[in-house]
């Protein structure tokens, strides 16, 4: 399984030993995971991701690349929108109709995005 643990550790100024200790495995076993010699269990993958304060899919991705900060921010905003849609019972079809059938919606959305506090 591809992962980007090496780059994440580098970015966070952490060592393999640091992360291995946090998740309760030997450093050598973590090294095997990092080099794709073994595949971690789902539970272990979740522990590793939580210890790195990241989502599982960010750590264990097919591309093995880290998302840029901008991509992470967009993903976080998308997650908030999806959560809101689910809470309010708004369907995907409702969103498509609101956006595609109403050009003023985009203008209103852009105005709101520009005027909201950062």
64 part of a folded domain: no
| Residue 52 sits in the same domain as residue 73 | no
Rounded CA separation 11/23 (Å): 19
| Residue 21 sits in the same domain as residue 48 | yes
11-56 pLDDT per residue, tens: 999 999 999 999 999 999 999 999 989 999 999 999 999 999 998 9
85 sits in which H/E element? helix 69-88
| Residue 51 sits in the same domain as residue 74 | no
Residue 64 predicted with pLDDT over 50: no
pLDDT band at 118 (very low <50, low <70, confident <90, very high): low
pTM: 0.53
The residue range of the domain holding 14 is 5-59
Name, of 5-9, 72-76, 89-93, the range with top average pLDDT.
Answer: 5-9
87 CA to centre of own chain: 21
How far are the Cα atoms of 8, 32, 56, 78, 93 from residue 67, in angstroms, in the given order? 11, 23, 13, 15, 29
CA-based nearest residue to 18, from 41, 48, 59 = 48
Rounded CA separation 61/82 (Å): 21
Query: Which domain CATH number covers 10?
Result: 1.10.260.40
CA torsion angle for 37, 43, 47, 53 (degrees, to 10)? 100
How far are the Cα atoms of 11, 15, 51, 71, 77 from residue 4, in angstroms, in the given order? 11, 14, 14, 16, 23
65-77 pLDDT per residue, tens: 555 677 777 778 8
Counting the structural domains of the chain, the total is 2
């Amino acid at each position: 399984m591809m992962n980007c643990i090496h780059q994440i550790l580098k970015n966070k100024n952490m060592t393999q030993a640091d992360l291995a200790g946090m998740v309760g495995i030997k450093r050598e076993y973590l090294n095997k995971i990092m080099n794709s010699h073994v595949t971690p269990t789902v539970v272990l993958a979740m522990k590793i991701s939580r210890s790195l304060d990241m989502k599982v899919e960010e750590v264990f991705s097919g591309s093995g690349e880290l998302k840029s900060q901008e991509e992470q921010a967009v993903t976080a905003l998308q997650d908030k929108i999806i959560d809101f849609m689910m809470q309010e019972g708004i369907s995907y079809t409702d969103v498509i109709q609101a956006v595609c059938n109403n050009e003023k919606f985009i203008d209103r959305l852009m105005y709101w995005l520009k005027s909201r506090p950062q």
